[in-house]
Amino acid sequence: MNPYVTASDQLKNFVRGCIAGCTATTCIQPMDMIKVRIQLMSESGGNRSFTSVAKTIHSEGGFKAFYKG
């Protein structure tokens, strides 16, 4: 640990890390859900686009469906 790092600097870094983690989870989880559905569909012979899969997920369960699983 750097002896010149103040408690306020540590707090700022902690808050930045928390915000980064929350943002990543909020943005990446829905995209990962769509990616997995596309992969599963391609194994069964389907070929769907990112937007069509997103529309299907939204129509099946609404906005919260992107965060299930």
Q: What is the mean pLDDT of each run of 10 residues along the chain (69 residues)?
A: 81 96 91 93 83 94 89
Q: How confident is the model at residue 2, as a pLDDT? A: 66
- From residue 26, alpha-carbon distances to 11, 12, 22, 29, 31 in Å are 22, 21, 6, 6, 10
Return the domain boundaries, the chain. 29-69
Rounded CA separation 62/44 (Å): 24
Q: How confident is the model at residue 47, as a pLDDT? A: 74
Q: How confident is the model at residue 43, as a pLDDT? A: 83
DSSP letter string, 31-66: HHHHHHHHHHHHHTT----HHHHHHHHHHHH-GGGG
